[in-house]
Every structure is written in structure tokens, then in C-alpha cells.
Amino acid sequence: MNTLKLTTEAKDIETAAQIIARGGLVAFPTETVYGLGANALDEQAVAAVYEAKGRPSDNPMIVHIARASDIGQLTPMLSPDIVAIIENFWPGPLTIVVKKKPSVPDRTTGGLDTVAVRMPDAKPALDLINRAGVPIAAPSANLSGSPSPTRAKDVIADLDGRIDAIIQGEDCRVGIESTVLDLTSKEPTILRPGIITAESIEAALGKPVKYDPSLKEAAQHVQLDPAAGVAEADFQPKSPGMKYRHYAPKADMLVVEGQRDRVKEEIERLRVLNERLGNQVGVILFEEKAFIEAAHDFFSRLRDLDREGVDLILAGALSDTDGVGFAVMNRMLKSAGYNIVRV
């Protein structure tokens, strides 16, 4: 298949929208990461997304809409919490999980009776959804398991020839995927951390917000048996996507965690040691507390280091248990397959 390379200009968005409307696949930029879009209400188109990504079919997709009121096409009832989230955070990098209407195909939701919905704020994404005239199911536009794509060239590296078109826009502003908030359980629960934090959601809802226990467990399990890695099946996450090995670079990867100076020293020690053995080593060490920047750069750093062909990536853990740093750590630990040393 020849993948059409499009711009964000109106005539190209129109072409992309027509492709979506007739059941095709289009990668497009959002503010979080690039998405691989298909008509969310067309079962066959959605099946083709799983196929192109090599994504397990029980891992549901986020449905993207261009007007908040379009959520009514997908869910039967708007609770006060849903309304508060929409008013405070949409458009933006926050996805909510709500009860689904029967018209949303099981394929789109991985057989669940809930659906994940988001209204992005990136203009090309909104233009595309508006012109296509249908909600667009869009997981990240990468091959399943590899780092999420934050630049058009990352999408091309993974999906060129496997999809109908790509809209080549700007690099993504946020750099990590949306926060996923489940509003179907008793307490609002974060299933995937992102740059919209628990604290800001609590402020908007006026009530406590939980983390899915698997998120905190994942960070703790790693202490038990770092050498063996962690069996992902040990976790029972509510969000199916959280159980798969994710975001993995081609290189081996090790996360070094601890007090900042010691982390720097240990990374340097391991770098020298490994280079002496003939390994090419890449280092990811963000400025202390620069969490937003870390989110923006993390996936692109992984992909650049893979492109350079490094054998080993040494990454310094961010110390943050709740906010944006925690969201980046969620990705970093998965990328490393929970391969971590504490110093």
C-alpha cells in the first residue's frame, strides 16, 4: 500500500476526511501523540487499525470527537462528573471512560460495555474529525509495543506502507498520551496517568480521585525482583492496555533510581563500564523537576537513540509520586520492561 503524505492544509484534511469516511486509516497529529484514526462506528475500519498496528484486539481504543456535545452519540447518560470534566478539561489531553451506547461497536471497545472518549485540542485533529463527520477511533500511530510517535517521521518509520495516509503536522506539544479517567466506577479512577494530574481533576470534581491500584503496584513490584523483570500478568489493571509490554525501544534499557547525585554517578559508572565492553550507550537524564519537558521529550529520545543504533539506554528516574513526573515514570518503567536499579 502506498501511504499518502498529506499536510495540514484544508484540501489535504478534506482528502484525509474522505479516506476516513470510506473506511480507511489516517495517521494525524494530536496534542498528545500522533493517532492512527478510523471511523469509530465502522467495525471493519477499526479492525484494520488493530491489524496495521499489530495491536491485541482486547485493547480498546479512544474515540475522538470534535464537539463536546457529540459525546451524546456514544454514551446514554451524562452524569454531573462527566459534565464537570468536559467543562474543565475539554478540549485537551484527558480521556474519560463512560458507559457505551449499543451503536458503538464491540471492536472499538475491545468487547467492554464502556467507551473511552476524548476531545483533542490540536487543530488538525479537530478539522479532520469535523470534516469526516464521524467520531474517530485512534490509538497511538505506532507499531504495537514500540515507543509512541510524537513526530511525523516516527509514524512513517513504523507505519509507512501499512496505512492509507498520514497528515504530517507539527511535533506533538505534550509528548505522552492522555490521562485516562474512569467515570464508571464508584470513585473516579485514573487508569493511565498523563499531564492532567489527579490533583487538578480532584479540584474540578470536588471529590477524591483514585489511581488504579495496578499503577502504584507496578512501581512497587519492581523492587521485588528487578533482575527477572516483572511478569506483566501479575497486575490486574482495569485498563486492558496497561497490561502489555509497551513503549519498548530496540535497545536494552535500564532505569537508575535514587538520590539525584548518586543516580548521575551510577549512570556515568555504568556508561563507562559498558562502553569499555564495546557497547554503544545512550543516556536519558532530564533536568530535575522539569517534568513537562521530560514528557515532551521522552518518546522522541527513545526513538532517536534507536535510530543511532545504541545497544543500551541508561535512564535516570524522575522522583515524583503523583504528578506529571509520575506519568513519565509510568512510561519509562514500561519501556525498560521494569529493569531498574536503585542506588
Residues that bind ligand AMP (CB under 6 A): 59-62, 97, 109, 112, 114-116, 139-140, 177, 180, 191-192, 239-242
Is residue 134 left, alpha or beta, with left meaning phi > 0 and alpha meaning psi from -120 to 50? Answer: beta
Q: Which is nearer to Mg ion, 141 or 267 (CB)?
A: 141
Q: Which is nearer to Mg ion, 8 or 140 (CB)?
A: 140
Q: Which is nearer to ligand AMP, 13 or 138 (CB)?
A: 138
Q: For residue 92, which phi and psi values (nearest 5 degrees)? A: 165, 180
Q: Least CB distance from residue 143 to Mg ion, whole Å?
A: 10
Q: Least CB distance from residue 191 to ligand AMP, whole Å?
A: 5
Which of ligand AMP, Mg ion, none has residue 239 at its interface (CB below 5 to 8 Å by kind)? ligand AMP
The helix/strand/coil state of 136 is strand
Which of ligand AMP, Mg ion, none has residue 60 at its interface (CB below 5 to 8 Å by kind)? ligand AMP
Name 27's bridge partners: 36, 166
Residue type, 43: E
Q: Least CB distance from residue 161 to ligand AMP, whole Å?
A: 21
Which of ligand AMP, Mg ion, none has residue 335 at its interface (CB below 5 to 8 Å by kind)? none
Which of Mg ion, ligand AMP, none has residue 134 at its interface (CB below 5 to 8 Å by kind)? none
DSSP secondary structure of 293-337: HHHHHHHHHHHHHHHHT-SEEEEEPP--SSSHHHHHHHHHHHHTT
Which residues bind to Mg ion, rule: CB under 5 A?
A: 140
Q: Least CB distance from residue 260 to ligand AMP, whole Å?
A: 31
C-alpha cell, 116: 473511552
260 sits in which H/E element: helix 260-276
- Residues 178 and 32 sit within 8 Å (Cβ to Cβ): yes
Q: Least CB distance from residue 123 to ligand AMP, whole Å?
A: 20
